[in-house]
């Protein structure tokens, strides 16, 4: 859109400046004068051809190793469903003491994506909201993750669905800078 505006502005400036440079000869002098090629081209109504404006393309989809990966672990009525290639981090490697006691699946963390990605469950503040996980700090010996609910938009959901005011577990994932290895994971709840 910006390129189209600039191209239109440039074309208007060319036409305007071409008209300013013409010498107006008196009506009686034009009979014996040779035609002026500069003035005949300046009065032409043709505009210079401009390259077509291309529509901006959508950014490419992130590679599996970039961004926040999709959570592979799900919860069914019979319990947690862990797909192949995903493993649970040993309980001794996870410190969930800073999480509120009402978190379902408190302290359960799964690792996948060649040990670069972690999944856990955070508590959303209602059935209509979501939650997120943020890596606060990571070093050679530990990874600190903040789990927090996201605010519900004022006025509820656009589709008119009734929202329950019940803490609801939501799967969340984070991507690490380096494989987890034997680093300790510290989970905390926040706002």
Q: Does 68 reside within a domain?
A: no
pLDDT tens per residue across span 83-120: 999 999 999 999 999 998 888 899 999 999 999 999 99
Residue 33 reports pLDDT greater than 50: no
Whether 184 contacts 176, CB under 8 Å: no
DSSP class of 95 = E
- 147-158 pLDDT, tens digit per residue, is 998 876 666 667
Q: Is residue 146 part of a domain?
A: yes
Burial class (CB in 10 A: 0-12, 13-18, 19+), 110: buried
Give me the pLDDT at residue 25, please: 46
pLDDT higher than 60, residue 34: no
Residues β-bridged to residue 147: 133, 189
Nearest in space to 181 (alpha carbons), one of 135, 140, 137, 120: 140
- Of 20 and 146, the structure prediction assigns the larger pLDDT to 146
49 and 127 share one domain: no
118 lies in the same domain as 165? yes
Asked if residue 188 lies in contact with residue 137, where contact means CB atoms within 8 angstroms, the answer is no
Please check whether residue 65 lies inside any domain of the structure. Answer: no
C-alpha separations of 68 from 2, 116, 125, 134, 178 in Å: 32, 11, 22, 10, 14
pLDDT at 51 > cutoff 90: no
Examine residue 64 and state whether it is found in any structural domain, yes or no: no
50 shares its domain with 124: no
Residue 77 domain-assigned (yes or no) = no
> Is 73 contained in some domain?
no
pTM: 0.61
Pair 39, 122 in one domain: no
Residue 22 above 90 pLDDT?
no
Both 184 and 107 in a single domain? Answer: yes
User: Do both 53 and 95 map to the same domain?
Assistant: no
Instruction: Write out the residue range of the structural domain in which residue 107 sits.
Output: 86-189
Of the listed ranges 15-29, 59-73, 77-91, the least confidently predicted one is: 15-29
Q: What pLDDT score does 157 carry?
A: 67
**What is the domain count for the chain?**
2
Residues 35 and 118 occupy one common structural domain: no
Q: Is 39 within a domain?
A: yes
Q: Are both 49 and 108 inside the same structural domain?
A: no
Q: Are residues 54 and 92 in the same domain?
A: no
Q: In what order do the strands lie in the sheet with 94-98?
A: 94-98, 184-189, 142-149, 131-138
How much is the average pLDDT of 151-173?
A: 77
Note whether 45 and 118 are same-domain residues: no
């Amino acid at each position: 859109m910006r390129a189209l505006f600039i191209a239109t502005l440039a074309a208007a400036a060319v036409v305007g400046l071409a008209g300013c440079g013409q010498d107006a000869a008196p009506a009686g002098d034009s009979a014996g004068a040779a035609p002026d090629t500069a003035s005949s081209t300046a009065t032409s109504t043709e505009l210079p051809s401009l390259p077509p404006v291309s529509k901006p393309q959508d950014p490419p989809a992130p590679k599996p190793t970039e961004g926040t990966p999709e959570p592979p672990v799900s919860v069914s009525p019979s319990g947690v469903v862990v797909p192949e290639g995903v493993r649970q981090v040993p309980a001794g490697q996870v410190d969930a003491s800073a999480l509120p006691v009402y978190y379902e699946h408190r302290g359960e963390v799964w690792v996948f994506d060649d040990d670069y990605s972690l999944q856990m469950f955070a508590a959303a503040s209602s059935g209509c909201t979501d939650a997120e996980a943020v890596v606060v700090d990571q070093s050679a010996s530990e990874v600190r993750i903040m789990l927090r609910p996201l605010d519900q938009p004022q006025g509820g959901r656009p589709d008119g669905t009734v929202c329950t005011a019940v803490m609801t577990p939501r799967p969340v994932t984070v991507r690490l800078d380096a494989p987890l290895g034997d680093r300790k994971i510290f989970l905390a709840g926040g706002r």
